A and B are shown apart, each in its own frame.
Chain A
């Protein structure tokens, strides 16, 4: 071999080796370009129909759930309330996600929440237990401290450790499925606030700067694969529990993003259309989350797909 060719090959090989090739790019596989869409917002449909549009825009569930993986879904099932009162995540949406995960090849789909009201009543009366079982998923137990394990939150400011539900730790993928609602304690209850239901000792958060603790937990190493915000019905006041259907607006919206902070920012802006003037500074866990690099509140810089049905 000529010296020139040798050097050329060496250089080319070196460049090729240094480049972050993905195997499928080498073999010309036809997966969509990564992160084409940062955030999807869908309006005007039923929960399942909006979900189908949103997940397609996000690249399909198979992008987030691989064949044989175990998936855990964390909706809000905090209250012993019927779906019409919008205190909990919409059961049809949860069912649609369970089915989609199984269709993507998930070996198992578990669903749980550390409820505020009596857990059996919450699971039952929210309609989520029946919906999940009918879709092939299973409800996980989360009512006893035994189901939680201590983890470190090294990047937290006030929250340095927490007891997290074993399914979040042991399953391959977790999907955060909050309901968008008013909250008189945390100011807003969306994706970040929903993560309070995967820990055991919430009292510690309330006693040690609630907003900071919520933000701190967003830095936990195991992040949700997706945040799917249910805004089919929105509790605009008297949250998080609500008193009656007069606290609820039929909004028919859904927001999806991998970025927890971004999806909360978007959902907050959507929520403010209901005669609300909530700022990121007041619902400060969202702002603090950004400061801890858990995501961005600058959603104008993101690629957003808005879909109307």
Chain B
């Protein structure tokens, strides 16, 4: 059975490398199939089930229903990352310190977090899942911490080989998101260096849910009691701390299918076995506290579902909701974004203009780390749709180039009192220059001077005008958010007769 473990290690290492590359890809060259790896994640597939990920969700559920938490060791980037940390940490540990021992389950903590997460999700907020989901957290960590590191390395390269490597700006990072990414990095590193898959078996709601399913999986890893010599090698090597060597019991809900126990067992007593044979039908666990727990959970989720059904837009109203937060194209509305986004920052990593940034307070407390348009340093490219295609959650729904050209995420508002044409009586027109639809256009002001005017029916809210406006300290043109995205009109086609000309001088 060693083969399984090595296969798992190889597969996981490759998968982690590819998924990390999608986030760390500073040159923006990963494309197509490579980006598709972000879809093979449980929370995104669950949230995106109605928008194209149903197949992946069913596959992941089926996989768990047959073999248990294979996802946690093969596909979950945070899980694989923890295995890497554990392996590295073991180099620095004494032989004795490397040993794990069986830990009793923290059922109330695990399932309490799961129930709370699902309840908040059903109330129309992905905010809690955003902070707990291993994929979202890993994406944030890779996008902010690893990519910042890669940018630094690139810039060292750019100093050494200025003709080959181009410099990259650090302006695309924000302290808030680097902090969030670094926090998860530290938490995960400390937890996994000390106690293996502790995060996965106490906090992770995905792990808890898949753990519940794997209790009923077709195949379980189990100990052949006849062959077992009670050496406890399996228990001492189990990073999930789910094997009790004394009682020969496996807590399958915590087993992450790493196959280490099978490899270390000297008497070949551990194997993957089909559970539903007639002869030895295992007794389902019958712990009264567990039953009470399930009853309570079911009641809570049911109530949440009913509330959700009765009040479809019953968003928890958090304080400090600024009016100016513009959701990226494809988000449909701020409410839709909040319902589906787990803040993995794949859209931010992918955005070629770097106009999408992680929100801090812009959307309110329930939107922290969700993508928001920031026109201070950039604006949204007219024909670009990349963010909408990479989002695995369906928080940003795919847009065609034609859709994009009419997706109105906000409307430009001209504030003449700050405009240079009015204040200095000199030409400017920077806003008009950057407007792809001519929603912002110049009209006669006085003495041959032109001043901008906005036709909001044509405006898509790309922010070109706001970004470029030289007005200081206050800009003369600012995009006002559409909390619900609207449809702008396509710019009219103005046919022009072909004119025959001479030199003209």
Is B one of A's binding partners?
yes
Select which of A138, A206, A208 is within 8 A of B430 by beta carbon. A206
The answer, among A80, A270, A273, A274, for a CB contact under 8 Å with B381, is A80
Quick check: A80 and B382 within 8 Å, CB to CB? yes
Interface range for A: 35 or more
- Name the residue of chain A whose CB is nearest to the CB of B449: A282
Q: Tell me whether A244 and B493 are in contact (CB under 8 A).
A: yes
Contact B505 A266 (CB under 8 A): yes
Q: B331-353, CB under 8 A of A: which get 1 and which 0?
A: 00000000000000000000011
The answer, yes or no, to whether A149 is at the interface (CB within 8 Å) is no
What's the Cα separation between A7 and B384 when bound, in Å?
A: 81
Mask, B168-182, CB within 8 Å of A = 1, is 110000000000000
Contact with A along B117-154 (1 / 0, CB 8 A): 00000000000000000000000000000000000000
A281 touches B448 (CB 8 A): yes
B441 touches A184 (CB 8 A): yes
Q: Is B470 an interface residue (CB 8 A)?
A: yes
A153 interface hit (Cβ, 8 Å): no
Q: Which of the segments A13-21, A68-76, A139-147 contacts the partner chain?
A: A139-147
The answer to whether A184 and B442 have CB atoms under 8 Å apart is yes
Q: Across the A-B interface, how many residue pairs have beta carbons closer than 8 Å?
A: 128
The chain B residue with its CB closest to the CB of A234 is B501
Assuming the A-B contacts A207-B470, A207-B472, A273-B502, are A185 and B432 also in contact, with contact meaning beta carbons closer than 8 angstroms in the complex?
Answer: yes
Measured between beta carbons, the chain A residues less than 8 angstroms from B505 are 41, 265-266, 269-270, 299, 304
Known: A80-B381, A80-B383, A209-B426. A249 touches B435 (CB 8 A): no
Q: Which of A249, A250, A271 has the most chain B CB within a 10 Å cutoff?
A: A249
With A and B bound together, what is the CA distance between A304 and B502 in angstroms? 15
A9 at the interface (CB under 8 A from B): no
Q: Judge if B8 is at the interface, Cβ distance under 8 Å.
A: no
B495 within 8 A of A: yes
Among the listed A186, A207, A240, A270, which residue makes an inter-chain contact with B471, where contact means beta carbons less than 8 Å apart?
A207
Asked if B430 and A185 sit within 8 Å, CB to CB, the answer is: yes
Q: Is B470 within 8 A of A204, CB to CB?
A: yes
A203 touches which of B168, B382, B430, B438 (Cβ 8 Å)? B430
- B22: interface (CB < 8 Å): no
The reply on A120 being an interface residue by CB < 8 A is yes
Contact with B along A154-180 (1 / 0, CB 8 A): 000000000000000000000000000
- Is B417 located at the chain interface by the 8 A CB criterion? no
The answer to whether B499 touches A250 (Cβ under 8 A) is: no
* A143 vs B470: C-alpha distance when bound (angstroms): 19
A243 on the B face (CB < 8 A): yes
In the bound complex, do residue B450 and residue A184 qualify as a contact, i.e. CB atoms below 8 Å apart? Answer: yes
Quick check: is A121 within 8 A (CB to CB) of the other chain?
Answer: yes
Contact residues of A: prevailing secondary structure: mixed
- What chain A residues lie within 8 Å of B499 (beta carbons)? 249, 273-275
Beta-carbon contact of A43 and B471 below 8 Å: no
- Compute how far the CA of A269 lies from the CA of B352 in the bound complex, rounded to whole angstroms: 39
Please, how many angstroms separate the alpha-carbon atoms of A118 and B441 in the complex?
22
State A244–B438 Cα separation when bound (angstroms): 11
Which among A43, A187, A206, A282 is the interface contact of B503 at CB below 8 angstroms?
A: A43
List the A side residues contacting B429 at CB < 8 Å. 183-186, 206, 210
Task: Check B401 for interface membership: any CB of A closer than 8 A.
Answer: no
Check: B428 CB closer than 8 A to any chain A CB: yes
What's the minimum C-beta distance from A250 to chain B, rounded to whole angstroms? Answer: 7
Residue of A nearest to B163 (CB): A138
Verify B433–A251 contact, CB threshold 8 A.
no
The 9 closest A-B CB pairs, nearest first, are A185-B429, A207-B470, A269-B505, A270-B504, A273-B501, A206-B470, A209-B426, A141-B166, A203-B470
Q: Beyond A187-B427, A269-B504, list 17 extra A-B contacts (CB 8 Å).
A: A43-B503, A116-B468, A144-B169, A184-B433, A185-B429, A185-B430, A185-B433, A185-B442, A206-B470, A207-B420, A212-B426, A243-B436, A246-B495, A246-B496, A251-B501, A266-B505, A273-B502
Can you pick out 6 interface pairs between chain A and chain B where the beta carbons lie within 8 Å of each other?
A80-B382, A183-B433, A206-B428, A206-B470, A209-B426, A304-B505
